[in-house]
Chain A
C-alpha cells in the first residue's frame, strides 16, 4: 500500500519577475492524508492549481500515478479528483443533473455509479433538487461526489472545511479518513488551521512564501511542539521546582509554560503537589500556527 500516487518535483512558478512558488517537491502515498499547511497567500492554492492543470508551472514536473500532467493530461486527470476552493456547481441544475453532466465527460460512468456516489455522500433525499437550494455543506458533499465519480486514486481538496459548521466539519473529517483508510485514496488537503490538520492528516508540509519549510508526520510535529500551560500558587516556588525537571520553562504573567511530555507530566505535577503547591489549572495546548511559524522560521512570518 506504499506506492507513490502523486509526485511533485522542483515545482516553480514565476509571474512576471516574481517567483511565487519556489522549488516545491513532495510525494503522496496511497492511503495517506497529506496536509498542506500555511497562512493565506503562502502559495497553497497556486500549488494546488498547478497540480490539477489549471496553471502551467514555469518549471518542474507533476506525476499522477506515473502520468505526467503536462504530457499525458487526460490520463493523469482520469486518476485525479479535486475541489479547488469552493465547490462551484451549476446552480440551475439539480444535484443529479450535475453528476450526470460530469459523468458525460468521463468514460464508462453509468447511473449505477452515480447512485452509489449519491449514497456515499449522503444526498439521497435532496439529489433531485436544484443545487441553488442546497446548503454549503450539501454543496461541499456534492462537490466531493463529483470528484469521486471517476474512482480516482488521488483526491485534492482545497480548504475542504471552509465555511462549514462544527458538525459539518466533523462529518467531513470522518469522510476523508474513511476514503483514505478504507478506499486507499491519497488525499491532499490544504488548510490554514493547524487544529484541522492535526485531526485529519498523517503527514504535513508547512508552506510559507512559496517554499516548503518543513515536512513531517503530524504525530512527531505535535508531540514536539505541544505545550503545557500551568497555573498554580505560590508561583515562585513552583517555577523553581519545574526548572529543575522540565527542559524549558517560560513565564507569562501568572501562567507558566512548559513543553508537554506525556511520560513526564505526572511526575512534575506530583513534585508540585508534594511541595504543597496548589495547582489550579493544567492545560495542554497545541501551538497556534503563528507560533509554530515563529519557531520554525525564527520570527520571519512576513516579508
Chain B
C-alpha cells in the first residue's frame, strides 16, 4: 500500500547529492563564520553549566581529509603566489586563489585527474551534442557520428554519465529530451557485463565480455582521429587531451557556480574550466571538425543515492533481445 508520502519520496530521490563544489562552499562558509568569531574575540560556551573547550582548528580532524587538504592547499598556494598573471591581480587579499603559470595549473589538473579514480568520488558528466549527432549502442561500444539533417532513431541531444570504480551508467536523450537508451557496465571477476535498455521499442539486451573497454560512451573525439573514451573514463581522456596539445591558463570565469580557472587549447579539448579548490574539471568544450560538444562535470561523494545512479534498470514489460553484432 503506497500513499502520497511515498510518492513524494520518489520525487525526492531523483536528485543528485551535493557536488564537490557544494561541500567546498559550505566549508568556506563555516571557515568564514569561524574567522568572524575569532576576530570578534567571542568566547562561546557549551550552555548552562558547561565549560567551553579550548579553541582548535576546525578542520584538523581526520574526517573529510580530502576536501580539507584541497582547501588548505589552495590557501597555501594563495599565500605563496600573491601576484597572478592568470587573474592579473596585484596584492590580492589573503585567501584568494591565484596561480602563477600555465604549467603549474596543468600539472595540478593532471594530478587531480590521476587521483580522481582513487579519491572515492563518483563522477557525473553531462554532455550536450549539436543537432545531427547520432549515437548507436553496439555490443562493446557506442558509435557516435555527426550527420546534420539526417533523421535517425538514434539522434541524441545529450548524454548523462555516472561512473565509480569501474561501474558506469550512460543515459542518452534525444534533442527533445526523450530517453533514447541507457547503458550500464558492471565489472566482475575479470569480466564485465553490459546492459542496454532501448526505450524507443521497449527492448533491452545484455552482453558479457572480458576484454571489453569499460567506458566507451558517446564522447567527443580528441586529438586523434579515432579517439574514444577508454577504461580510464573522462579523467584519463582529459589527461590525454592535455598531453597532446598546447594549453594556456586564461583567467577566471564563473561556471556552474564555480569561480573556475579557464584553460584554452588548440586541439580537441577546446576549453576546460577547473575548480581552483580541487583542480578537477567543471566544464569542457571539445571541438573536432564539425562536432562541438560541451560537458559539465560534478564530482560527488558515493552516497547510496548517488551510487544508485550507476544502475541501469530494465522497466517491467521490456522485451529482451539479442545484443547487436
Decide if A and B are genuine partners: no
* Residues of B bordering A, CB below 8 Å: none
